[in-house]
Structure formats: C-alpha cells, structure tokens
Amino acid sequence: MDQSPINAQIEFRTVTKLYGQIAAVRDMSLTVERGEFLTILGPSGSGKTTVLMLLAGFVAPSRGDILISGKSVAAVPAYRRDQGIVFQSYALFPHLTVRRNLEFPLEMRGMKVAERAQRVGLILERVHLQDFGDRFPSQLSGGQQQRVALARALIADPPILLLDEPLGALDRNLREEMQGEIKSLHKEFGKTTVCVTHDQEEALTLSDRIVVMRAGQIEQTDTPETLYDRPATQFVANFLGEANILENLDYVVESDSAQPTGTVPMIRPERLGIANTATPKSADGDRRQYVAGIVDDMIYAGPLRKYHVRVGGGVLVVREHVASGQQIFKPGDKVRLDWLRSDLRFVTA
C-alpha cells in the first residue's frame, strides 16, 4: 500500500453495460485525470449509478474496457481493487463501533494493530470525531455518520475515492457544511474522486468537471461554469438550473452571434430584466431586446423574487435579486422584459 501512488488516472474505453437487452451505459468513453474531482450528474435511470458500480468493480462491463493508471481492471473484482467508497446512506457496519469500522479496511490490508490504532486516531481527529470512536453508528447523527463514512473511505489511503450520492441523506444546512468538508478533504488528500449525484447544486460546488448523463450516454462534459453558462443541449440547460426556451413564440428573437452552435434560443431567468412599461430604456438599449408581457405569478423566495410573465404565447421565468427601492409587481400587471442579446444561448434540441 505504501507503494501505491496517492492518486490514479481512470479511463473508460467505449464501455457498454447491458442488463438483458437494455443498455444501462452505452459506448461511454471518459478520462478522469489524477487528482481530479469529477461528478457524474443525471436524473434517475440515466445510468450514473451503473457507471459507479462499474468503476467500483461490483459489475463488469459487457463491452469495452476500464483502465486505472493504464491497467485494465475490467476483470478485477471489487475486493482486489484499491479504492475507497462512500456509499449512499453510508453502509457503516451496524455491529461494529466507529473505531472497528475504521479499522476494517486496514485489517483487510494486513496492517499491524499498533499502526491501525495510530491511523484511526489520526483520521478521527481529522474529521473531528475523536470522542466518538467507541460509539456504534446508530448512536451518531447523520452528519457524524457521513464523516465516519468519509474517514473509512480515506483511511487506507487509496488512490481513488468514489462517492455515491454522498449528501443525499442530510438536511439542507448540514449538506452545505459537509460540502465544505468534502472539498477540504479532497484538497488535502488529493485523491482522484468520482462522485455520482442527481443534486445539481452539489455537482456545481464540488466538481472540477461535471459529466451530464442521459439515457446511458454522456450528454456533455465540462467545467461547472461552462456547463451552466454554455449548455450544449436543451436537456443540459433544463437539468442544470432553470432555462427559458424561446421557441414557438409570437415575436422574433434577435440574435447577435454569427454562428450559433444550436438552433434553440435559451436564456437563464437571472439574465432577464423586468421593469414598468413606462421606464426609459437603459443606455445599452441598442444591445438589448425588449418585449412586453403580463405578470402571471410572483413567487417570493427569500433573497430572490421569481416572476412568471406571459409573453407572446409563452411564459418566461424572471429571477430578480431582492433589493431596496425595487418595484414589486402583482399578477395582472403589465411589464416590460429585456435582455442583452449576448446573453442568449443557442442549444440543440
């Protein structure tokens, strides 16, 4: 184990996994670089869990190959691989104490008792659970269980860390705290990390790169910012955040860009401005498009206010940050929407 590098490169070569006639994953090729934090994002049934199971070695690919640091592992069972996994709802052994849970991977690697105890002590301290070593998992809160699961996955210093919906079982506040914890652990340990989730916020905050999956195939792979700002497809645009699709409307969408990548114009709700019809146009008015509409609904959401505005045969969603001096519109009010033409994106359907 001492010889094993701190992280590894992962490569999927046209991997297909069939269950009967159905392909859970089809012709997937992907490379995860050393030390990278890659998130696989997709709705349920998109094949993302199968990707993780393939990577973990719990299922073998039907076709194609999986390589870890250049060596094929398609035929290597899970228990001969060197990896740490944080399972959905943690899979902590209920019959073992926290300490014994943490010792388990070390014991399986044949480590001496004294060294095991030392490592357990260190990692417990690292995840701030030094007083909880003798508790059973059921005696811990959700956040503490999550930290034990992370510690257990990292304690044997595997080059690869796999996270399966790591924060799914936590409530909102705790989730934010744990996101920070995962991020700092990633930075500190530098493991190649693959995380599977359906939570877009989790994906956006944690990852170096995100893979969006749909029906067993990769829809788009990019950094979080590119993915959100320049989605390639309507599916990605809708799955990651909210999107106004400007299609089949009564007005012409004016476009600046000479060569739009896709055909369907799309704009994010926060890029839209909303104003009283009487408000004078702004200085950069010639770079903007203006349309008139009627407020359908107003949703107050703390820092944000969301308007649904009926415009030319469709409804656009406008997201506005709450600020003082703002005019608040009611359903039925006539309003004028505007956006910078450069904020428009063209996606494929």
By CB under 8 A, name the binding residues for another protein.
18, 56-60, 62, 75, 77-85, 87-89, 91-95, 104-105, 108-109, 135-136, 138-141, 144, 152, 156, 162
Nearer to another protein, 144 or 348 (CB): 144
Amino acid present at 47 = G
Q: How would you label 324-334 residue by residue, b for 16+ Cβ within 10 Å and e otherwise? A: eeeeebeeebe
Q: Which residue's CB is nearer to another protein, number 75 or number 294?
A: 75
Q: Which is nearer to another protein, 42 or 105 (CB)?
A: 105
At position 216, the amino acid (one-letter code) is G
* Cβ neighbours for 179, distance < 8 A, ≥ 6 positions apart: 167, 202, 205, 206
> Least Å distance between CB 336 and another protein?
49
Q: Coil, helix or strand for 140?
A: coil
The bridge status of strand 288-301 relative to strand 304-311 is antiparallel
Per the listing, tokens 């009283």 go with 276
Q: Among residues 35 and 61, whose Cβ is nearest to another protein?
A: 61
Residue type, 150: L
What's the min distance (Å) between Cβ of 152 and another protein? 7
Centroid of chain to Cα 56? 19
162 vs 210, which CB is nearer to another protein? 162
Under a CB-based contact definition with an 8 Å cutoff, are residues 337 and 311 in contact?
yes
The single-letter code of the amino acid at 291 is V
CB of 99 to another protein, least distance (A): 14
Least distance (Å) from another protein to the CB of residue 137?
9
Query: Looking at beta carbons only, is 88 or 205 nearer to another protein?
Result: 88
Give the residue with the Cβ less far from another protein, 81 or 288: 81
Query: How is residue 185 written in tokens?
Result: 């652990």
In the complex, the smallest distance separating the C-beta of residue 9 from another protein, rounded to whole angstroms, is 19
10 or 162, CB closer to another protein?
Answer: 162
Whether 28 contacts 218, CB under 8 Å? yes
Pairing of strands 334-340, 288-301: antiparallel
User: Which tokens belong to 137?
Assistant: 């998992």
Provide, rounded to whole angstroms, the least separation between the CB of residue 276 and another protein: 48
User: Cα(33)–Cα(27) distance, rounded to whole angstroms?
Assistant: 20
CB closer to another protein out of 58 and 300: 58
Contact assessment for residue 300 and residue 291, using Cβ atoms and an 8 Å cutoff = no
Scanning the chain, the segments in alpha helix (DSSP H) are: 48-56, 98-108, 113-126, 142-154, 172-189, 200-206, 224-229, 234-239
Closest approach of another protein to the CB of residue 186, in Å = 18
Minimum CB distance to another protein, residue 104 (Å)? 5
Rounded to the nearest whole angstrom, what is the least distance from the CB of residue 218 to another protein in the complex?
22
Instruction: Please name the residues in contact with 107: beta carbons below 8 A apart, sequence gap of 6 or more.
Output: 116
Q: Helix (H) and strand (E) counts for the chain? A: 8, 18
